[in-house]
């Protein structure tokens, strides 16, 4: 009898050990292979700047309320409130000590595409690498090149204030295992070059789905409701549906959408509001062609009510 129990317990322990090892293996931080970053050449700064604006880095990493040239100072410090606690956005300016001025391309790239920090730790998805992961190493090289041209700031942001267990970065591994991938969100069968560009901008750096797609109980995006809108996760109000089935933008032309991104005015001369104000300001830096690509993509995604 005693023997039997020992065997069962032993087997159980072995299973648990294998399970833990497998879980660790599946959920540990997974940087890209080192050679992903080799031979990328000189960055294209103009392309990098486009990624900076569509990526909305300034919206989170600049000081609160920054205007004019100050929006290019990535000093960090903005508090982001969430149901898990408060995140304090870090300094990613070109300062070698307080910012990321001393980071290698691989370190920056693993943060952007894999959600892995400089020390090999998991990063919180409040930093939308879950979308940025759809960029390529070339894109990251261009963006990194541009970020280096921005001013340095010595500001140090306070540590995040998160409750247990969210304050343990290792727990993010499970979340990433479930919800983090770099697959396209929609399948656009006959996508021409313009649509493909729109898909890249919206699903990748633009991270539009992070706000415009509803989330499940664990905080993952609901694939079947891509861009369908829903309650605002940051507080009161709703985020609008921006698929062709939307009660508002469904009837807008592609030109109306481009005009909204450029000026903040809807076709009825209502004005952009809420967190979209910041996004619209950033989008107004994009070329007409890129904004047309975004509009074309929004007209091509599956209709949701």
Partner 1 sequence: MRLKSTVVIGAVLGCLSFSSAFAQEEPQSARQAQMKVVGQSMKELGAIAKGEKPYDGAAVKAALEGVSTSMKAFPDQFPAGTETGMETEAAPAIWEKTDDFRAKSDKLAAEADTLLASVPADQAGVGAAMKALGATCGDCHETYRLKR
Shortest reach from residue 186's CB to partner 1, in Å: 24
Shortest reach from residue 269's CB to partner 1, in Å: 4
Please state, in angstroms and rounded to a whole number, the distance separating the CA atoms of residues 283 and 304. 24
Quick check: 52 and 153 in contact, CB under 8 A? no
**Considering only 19-27, 38-46, 51-59, 183-191, which stretch makes contact with ligand HEC by CB under 6 A?**
51-59
If binding is defined by CB under 6 A, does position 98 make contact with ligand HEC?
Answer: no
If binding is defined by CB under 6 A, does position 162 make contact with ligand HEC?
Answer: no
Helix axes 193-203 and 288-300, enclosed angle (nearest 10): 90
Q: Whose Cβ is closer to ligand HEC: residue 8's or residue 265's?
A: 265
Give, as ranges, the residues between 114 and 153 that touch ligand HEC (CB under 6 A): 117-118, 123-124, 126-128, 143
What residues contact 293, with CB distance under 8 A and at least 6 apart? 194, 195, 197, 198, 201
For tokens 């952007």, name the residue.
112
Give, as ranges, the residues between 232 and 291 that touch ligand HEC (CB under 6 A): 239-240, 242, 248-249, 257, 260, 266, 269-276, 279, 283
Nearest Cα to 91, choosing from 107, 73, 106, 79?
73
- Cα–Cα distance list, 138 to 37, 94, 146, 268, 277 (Å): 8, 20, 13, 40, 29
What tokens does 152 get?
A: 């340095």
- Rule CB under 6 A: choose which of 29, 71, 73, 87 binds ligand HEC: 87
Q: Whose Cβ is closer to partner 1: residue 140's or residue 208's?
A: 208
Please state, in angstroms and rounded to a whole number, the distance separating the CA atoms of residues 197 and 300. 13
Nearest Cα to 54, choosing from 65, 46, 43?
46
Please state, in angstroms and rounded to a whole number, the distance separating the CA atoms of residues 158 and 285. 31
- Rule CB under 6 A: choose which of 53, 108, 185, 200 binds ligand HEC: 108
Binds 236: which of partner 1, ligand HEC, none (CB < 5-8 Å by kind):
partner 1
Say how many C-beta atoms besides its own lie within 10 A of residue 47's C-beta.
16
Concatenating the DSSP letter of every residue in 238-249 gives: EEPP-STT-TTG
Give, as ranges, the residues between 260 and 299 that touch partner 1 (CB under 8 A): 263-265, 268-275, 277-278, 280-281
Binds 28: which of partner 1, ligand HEC, none (CB < 5-8 Å by kind):
none
Q: Which residues bind ligand HEC (CB under 6 A)?
A: 55-57, 59-61, 80, 87, 89-90, 92, 100, 108, 111, 117-118, 123-124, 126-128, 143, 202, 206-208, 210-212, 239-240, 242, 248-249, 257, 260, 266, 269-276, 279, 283, 294
Q: Which residues bind partner 1 (CB under 8 A)?
A: 236-240, 263-265, 268-275, 277-278, 280-281
């Amino acid at each position: 009898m005693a023997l039997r129990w020992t065997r069962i317990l032993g087997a159980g322990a072995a299973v648990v050990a294998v399970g833990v090892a497998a879980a660790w293996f599946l959920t540990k931080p997974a940087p890209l292979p080192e050679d992903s970053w080799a031979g990328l050449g000189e960055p294209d700064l103009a392309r990098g700047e486009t990624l900076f604006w569509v990526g909305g880095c300034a919206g989170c990493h600049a000081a609160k309320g920054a205007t004019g040239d100050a929006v290019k100072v990535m000093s960090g410090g903005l508090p982001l409130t969430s149901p898990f606690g408060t995140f304090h956005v870090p300094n990613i300016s070109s300062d070698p000590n307080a910012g990321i001025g001393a980071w290698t391309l691989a370190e920056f790239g693993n943060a952007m595409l894999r959600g892995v920090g400089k020390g090999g730790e998991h990063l919180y998805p409040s930093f939308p690498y879950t979308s940025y992961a759809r960029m390529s190493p070339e894109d990251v090289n261009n963006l990194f090149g541009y970020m280096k041209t921005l001013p340095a700031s010595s500001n140090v942001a306070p540590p995040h204030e998160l409750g247990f267990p969210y304050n343990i970065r290792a727990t993010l591994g499970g979340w990433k295992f479930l919800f983090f991938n770099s697959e396209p969100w929609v399948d656009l069968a006959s996508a021409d070059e313009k649509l493909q560009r729109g898909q890249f901008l919206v699903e990748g750096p633009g991270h539009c789905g992070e706000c415009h797609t509803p989330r499940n109980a664990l905080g993952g995006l609901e694939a079947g409701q891509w861009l369908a809108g829903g309650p605002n996760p940051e507080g009161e109000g709703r985020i609008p549906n921006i698929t062709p089935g939307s009660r508002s933008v469904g009837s807008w032309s592609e030109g109306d959408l481009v005009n909204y991104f450029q000026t903040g005015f809807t076709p009825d001369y209502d004005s952009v509001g809420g967190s979209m104000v910041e996004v619209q300001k950033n989008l107004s830096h994009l070329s007409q062609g890129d904004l047309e690509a975004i509009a074309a993509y929004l007209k091509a995604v599956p209709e949701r009510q």
